[in-house]
Amino acid sequence: MSDVTRVGATEFVRPTDTRLIATRVLDAPRDLVWAAHTQCEHTRNWLLGLEGWQMPVCEIDLRPGGAYRYVFEAPDSPSFSLSGEYREIRDRERIVNSETMNDAPGGTLNTLELIEEDGHTVVRTTVDYPSKELREEIIASGMLDGWAQSYDRLEEYLHSVH
């Protein structure tokens, strides 16, 4: 049976030992949610994790084989980066990409799906980890709270630009 955790309006499910699925329904059209995920002028306004973080570096080359890189900074905390390569892109529907933190070996395979339903967009992100231990270590770091706060911030941002 899946382990389900709800943080605010975001649901996190662990259906297998190495998978994590985050689901959030946003009150915004899919085109706008797509732009928020794929254009730095939008992404750096919401993909920040816990309160107080900023994204001074945002690079997105949105094409299969293209790369992305985000650098995050906060006062009194070490900076970190997330980077990877886009594997599959289905315009306004799906992105599959690799992801590593601080260019460490290993990493995850992430699948973002955007499903439009009655003027809302269901955002579903599936993260496949190389091991249960790594998944649990990352969850223990507070990542679910940061992810949920980012989605809260995304909802607010989408309302401000819509």
pLDDT of residue 7: 82
pLDDT of residue 99: 97
What's the structural domain count of the chain? 1
In the chain, the percentage of residues whose pLDDT exceeds 70 is 99
Work out the average pLDDT over 15-26.
Answer: 97
Q: How far apart, in whole angstroms, are the C-alpha atoms of residue 139 and residue 133?
A: 10
Q: Is 95 exposed, middle or buried (0-12, 13-18, 19+ CB in 10 A)?
A: buried
pLDDT of residue 128: 98
Q: Is 63 exposed, middle or buried (0-12, 13-18, 19+ CB in 10 A)?
A: exposed
CATH number at residue 76: 3.30.530.20
State which residues form the domain around 7.
3-161
- What are the residues whose beta carbons fall under 8 Å from the beta carbon of 137, sequence distance 6 or more? none
Give this prediction's pTM.
0.93
